[in-house]
């Protein structure tokens, strides 16, 4: 009963946050319209000739709007860049590496940025084909990770069930319900109907201590320090725990998709897309992020669902 009540509260919070964002955006839109109405636009004749010769194409597989973390905002190559370059989609993104799902759900600025992307797409005269939402990895990895583990030398070694429940099945789940309710209301306010939403889990990582560009001054590692702190030296045991963690996270997400009021939300299962065997470094650039080859494999699954 408590879980159902919390879920309902998350929906209410999401709708309230969306309503506040829509009110701010309405004021911003009115201001923009006044500026455009009063503007006297002058175009240099030379520029007109250049523009007339420039090739223009509107060919596209559709417009996608994205909100998320580093899987959507990674240097040089990520899911979104691959969707544009390899599959012909146009992507409007409010994603930012390092963001938690709580950042996305409860920050006014995040919802404003998302709404602005929707407005930008609608001004072109088309509707978004889908909304892509990525998040949750930063809520359980990094500085937060060690607290999920009982010490390896204890009689209760492995993931701490009560803390895992609190983080994934309560905190992250409620944040997801909140942001899904918010972006659903925003899209319905602009379009009169919801837009299909794709949420995704992650693949099974290899906690080998590699951070972004080797770590050091750069972000990461995100998993190995927690394992080392709690006495887990064997890679096989570390990998087993990561499998349990990802399975738990994915089960939670899959339980949100397709159920009222989220019938328009689809869950994309990315497990076993990237190898964790002997050649895993060709698939994983570090503990949490795929290589270019890995992102290509992940993006292919996004395309199949879209």
pLDDT digits (tens, 9 = 90+) for 77-113: 999 999 999 999 999 999 999 899 999 999 878 899 9
pLDDT in tens, 250-273: 999 999 999 999 999 999 999 999
Whether the per-residue pLDDT at 176 is higher than 70: the answer is: yes
Peptide bond into 261 cis (omega under 30): yes
- Domain residue spans of the chain: 62-305
Would you give the end-to-end CA distance of the chain in angstroms? 34
At residue 55, does pLDDT exceed 70?
no
Model pLDDT, residue 213: 67
Cβ pair 184, 264 in contact under 8 A: yes
For residue 222, pLDDT beyond 60 = yes
Helix (H, G, I), strand (E, B) or coil at 220: coil
Residue 66 pLDDT grade (very low, low, confident, very high; cuts 50, 70, 90): very high
The pLDDT value given to residue 51: 41
Residue 56 in this model has a pLDDT that exceeds 50: no
pLDDT reported for residue 59: 73
Average pLDDT across the chain, whole number: 91
CATH number of 62-305: 3.40.50.1110
Confidence of residue 58 (pLDDT cuts 50, 70, 90): low
Mean pLDDT of 162-184: 97
Question: From CA 146, how far away is CA 221, in angstroms rounded?
Answer: 12
pLDDT of residue 3: 77
Neighbours of 160 (CB within 10 A): 15
pLDDT in tens, 112-159: 999 999 999 999 999 999 999 999 999 999 888 999 999 999 999 999
Q: What is the pLDDT of residue 50?
A: 46
Q: Is it true that the peptide bond before 221 is cis, omega within 30 degrees of 0?
A: yes
């Amino acid at each position: 009963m408590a879980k159902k009540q919390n879920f309902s509260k998350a929906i209410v919070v999401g709708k309230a946050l969306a309503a506040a964002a829509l009110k701010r955006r309405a004021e911003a839109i009115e201001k923009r319209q006044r500026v455009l109405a009063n503007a006297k636009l002058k175009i240099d004749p030379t520029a007109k000739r250049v523009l007339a010769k420039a090739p223009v194409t509107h060919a596209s597989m559709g417009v996608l709007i994205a909100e998320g973390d580093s899987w959507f905002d990674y240097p040089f190559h990520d899911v979104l860049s691959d969707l544009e370059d390899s599959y012909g989609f146009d992507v409007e993104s409010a994603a930012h590496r390092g963001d938690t799902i709580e950042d996305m759900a409860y920050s006014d600025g995040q919802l404003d940025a998302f709404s602005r992307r929707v407005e930008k797409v609608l001004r072109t005269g088309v509707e978004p084909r889908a909304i892509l939402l990525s998040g949750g990895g930063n809520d359980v990895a990094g500085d937060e990770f060690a607290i999920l583990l009982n010490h390896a030398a204890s009689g209760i070694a492995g993931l701490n069930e009560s803390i895992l429940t609190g983080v994934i099945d309560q905190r992250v789940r409620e944040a997801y319900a909140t942001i899904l309710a918010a972006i659903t209301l925003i899209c319905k306010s602009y379009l009169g109907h919801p837009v299909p939403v794709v949420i995704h889990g992650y693949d099974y990582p290899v906690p080998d201590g590699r951070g972004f560009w080797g770590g050091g001054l750069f972000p990461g590692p995100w998993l190995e320090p927690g394992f080392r702190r709690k006495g887990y030296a064997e890679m096989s045991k570390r990998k087993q725990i990561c499998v349990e963690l990802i399975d738990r996270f994915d089960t939670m997400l899959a339980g949100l998709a397709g159920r009222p009021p989220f019938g328009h939300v689809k869950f994309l299962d990315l497990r076993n897309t990237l190898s964790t065997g002997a050649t895993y470094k060709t698939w994983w650039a570090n503990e949490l992020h795929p290589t270019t080859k890995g992102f290509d494999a992940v993006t292919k699954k996004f395309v199949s669902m879209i």
